[in-house]
Chains A and B, each alone.
Chain A
Amino acid sequence: MPKKVLKEFKVEYLQILDENGNCDDALMPKISNEEIKKMYEMLILIRVFDQKAFNMQRQGRLGTYIQFKGQEACQVGSASLLKDEDFVFPMYRNSGLLIARKQPMTQVLQYWNGDERGMKSPPNVNNFPIAIPVGTQMIHAAGAAWAAKLRKTSQICITYFGDGATSKGDFHEAMNFAGVFNLPVIFFCENNQFAISVPRPKQTHSETIAQKAIAYGFEGVQIDGMDIFAVYKATKEAFEKARTGKGPTLIEAFTYRLCDHSTSDDASRYRSKEEVESWAKKDGIERLEKHMRKKGLLDDTYKEKVLKQSQEAVEKSVTEFEKITPPDPKDMFKYVYAEMTQQQIEEMHDILGN
């Protein structure tokens, strides 16, 4: 018997906006000038925030902080499509995403300064607290999407994770559940090429992360993660699929972390200056600026105005943040269960008095 081909697969790559700000009009999603400007303003705001938070950590005004510089386009481009009631299951490199999802900057600073109140989602916005153990949140997105399907709400669930997370068994189980139950969930991989110091080829022998979706029976696509239009388009298509009952999507956003892993890391130990510089040239913010300038959506005055507004907004949130009084020590007992146990009441009195 001759062998036969049972199935053949392809993996697509999407880029719309190149490094020089040139746009492929045929691929360009329908997006208004106002929307583009809104996204640009958010990109600048979170970059200013990111730098400020890093500086504050260095000055001893903030605890350990996880920067996201270089990955702004992933976070803003996808978040701009979400409705408040949709669920976001973020990783720790998603402060920008949370800000784009209406989490006040004061709260984000609060969280990174060791105050759980910072992770409380604003009313009516479903921002799940960030997951510290890598990749453990993906299955929650599948579960929440399952609930949305069973309850017949129109919610979409989206989870963000890095390339390192795809090595974990959790990734497999989450993708598998999503496929088997055809869930309205999007797996958004911010492939920034490194899990701290370990490069992507040491995480998986697959040529792409996108192709892993094929094994679970749904679509995976690789996109230029520093191209906000590609992020927007891919996420929009995934959302439409999810909202019309056509199941999950894996988006592999090919990007780069233009910063250390955390404020405790020194990336020069494992990445060359040349490599970082070559990626910096692809930066998603600069290329959007180039595009907007060509389209007449941005000039120097507007650019300066946006930067100044962002700096003022960030400074204002820092001032507010620094005025926040510490949490009530009773809070550490108050939120473990709906009601404190007898043991906890005794322990609380032991430690805090009556």
Chain B
Amino acid sequence: MVVATIVQAVTMGLRQELARDKSVIVLGEDVGLNGGVFRATDGLQKEFGPERVIDTPLAELGIVGASIGLAVNGMRPVAEIQFSGFVYSSFDQLLSHAARIRMRSRGRFTCPLVLRAPYGAGIRALELHCESGESIFSHVPGLKMVVPSNPYDTKGLLASAIRDPDPVIFYEPMRIYRAIKQDIPDEEFFVPIGEANVLQEGDDLTLIAWGAMVKTCQDAIEKLNNKYSVELIDLRTINPYDAETVSNSVKKTGRCVITHEAIRTCGFAAELIASINEKALLNLEAPVVRVTSPDVPIPLAKLEGYFLPDSNRILKGIEKVMSF
């Protein structure tokens, strides 16, 4: 066991996979000598050499497009996009190609790449350094979308993502990169893609979150001081999502709050609510409540606090669903 933060768990996961499989390579801007701007790839170039931990030109489309070609011809590229807000110039490559290669070639070619990026707000960063685009990618069949919330899941999900036969977008919660320390095994273990995690069982309501919002939910639960018995679900994989765990929980509790950093309209809560309606409508005691950011571009630092849901907004959502 090693005590590690999320960002250290990323490094551990990458190191493990680089050591195991020589087709795994890490590429991106500043990932080599500099070890990444968040140090997620710290020391890896020194350990595995510049042919396997590669500083690329400053070109997101090129990084993703080249990763597609690499993946098609037998490599397992793990590409880093420095901030998730910079991924948009590679959108065409992800949507038009990475997601469709298996389908388009009827399985003759596949695209096992991982795209890692720090995502989310709350660190008073520059514009487009704080995006939460997980639902955008979840609208693309052929891509998988994974968001860990703690060091253990980060290492376990990253190993699963790198070994996955299909393209996986791996969003790392930047705000809590170093906020949580956890004992995680040195040896190989996996957290499966597509399985949610019930972090805490409860009977009164289901609270669903992913990424950095899981911690915010835990803060809210602490503030509740046992007023209600909350079942907390960490979704972990946004696409394909674990509808069964969600609906089973809602069937039990009858009430649900879903929270995410992303804006409300077409945010992933909307999809989860549709799924709950399909599978557990008659068990609901109240409409499902969404606690999300508003439908505005994320403001710069001065107004960021008004944008992002905090534990108080989650408590307000909980009261709303409980008092219905």
Show the binding face of A for B, using Cβ within 8 Å: 87, 89, 116-117, 119-121, 126, 128-129, 131-133, 136-137, 139-148, 150-151, 155, 157, 169-170, 173-174, 176-177, 180, 331-332, 335-338, 341-344
Contacts and interface: CB of A to CB of B under 8 A. Distances in A.
A121 B109 contact: yes
12 contacts: A117-B106, A129-B101, A129-B104, A132-B96, A142-B65, A143-B65, A173-B61, A336-B141, A337-B166, A338-B165, A342-B240, A342-B243
B61 A169 contact: yes
Given A129-B105, A180-B57, A139 B65 contact: yes
A169 B61 CA distance: 9
Contacts of B102: 335-338
A332 B65 CA distance: 24
B107 A335 contact: yes
Q: Kindly name the residue among B59, B73, B92, B109 whose own CB sees the greatest number of chain A CB atoms within 10 A.
A: B73
Given A151-B74, A335-B102, A343-B243, A140 B65 contact: yes
A146 B67 CA distance: 9
A177 B66 contact: yes
B72 interface: yes
Contacts of A151: 23, 73-75
B105 A146 contact: no
B69 A142 contact: yes
Given A120-B108, A139-B66, A147 B57 contact: no
Contacts of B127: none
A178 to B, nearest CB: 9
A294 to B, nearest CB: 43
Interface in B79-115: 89, 92-93, 96-97, 101-110
B249 to A, nearest CB: 16
Contacts of A148: 73
Contacts of A150: 25, 51, 70, 75
B69 A140 contact: yes
Interface residues of B, number: 46
A136 B57 contact: no
Contacts of A331: 106
A144 B72 contact: yes
A156 to B, nearest CB: 12
B56 interface: yes
A87 B57 CA distance: 24
A335 B96 contact: no
B13 interface: no
B296 to A, nearest CB: 29
A173 B243 contact: no
A293 B106 CA distance: 44
B69 A343 contact: no
A336 B65 contact: no
A121 B72 CA distance: 13
B62 interface: yes
Contacts of A119: 104-106
A332 B68 CA distance: 22
A92 to B, nearest CB: 13
Contact of A143 (B67, B108, B142): B67
Contacts of A139: 61-62, 65-66, 68-69, 93
Contact of A142 (B66, B89, B240): B66
Nearest to B64: A139
B122 interface: no
B113 to A, nearest CB: 10
B194 interface: yes
B59 A177 contact: yes
A213 B93 CA distance: 23
Given A145-B69, A157-B69, 11 more contacts: A120-B106, A120-B107, A132-B96, A139-B65, A140-B66, A140-B97, A143-B66, A147-B73, A170-B61, A177-B59, A344-B141
A170 to B, nearest CB: 6
B142 A336 contact: yes
B244 interface: yes
A169 B101 CA distance: 22
Contacts of B72: 87, 128, 140, 143-144, 147
Contacts of A170: 61, 65, 92
Nearest to A185: B69
Query: Which are the 5 A-B pairs with shortest beta-carbon distances?
Result: A143-B69, A139-B65, A341-B240, A147-B73, A173-B62
Given A143-B67, A143-B70, A174-B65, A133 B165 contact: no
Nearest to A132: B96
Contacts of B241: 343
A161 B89 CA distance: 21
Contacts of A133: 92, 96
A128 B73 CA distance: 11
Nearest to A338: B165
Contacts of B23: 151
A136 B74 contact: no
A40 B119 CA distance: 56
Contacts of B62: 139, 142, 173-174, 176-177
B239 to A, nearest CB: 8
B105 A338 contact: no
B151 to A, nearest CB: 27
A288 B93 CA distance: 40
A127 to B, nearest CB: 9
Interface string B22-33: 010100000000
Nearest to A122: B108
A132 B92 CA distance: 12
A337 B65 CA distance: 19
B146 to A, nearest CB: 13
B177 to A, nearest CB: 29
Contact of A146 (B69, B103, B142, B239): B69
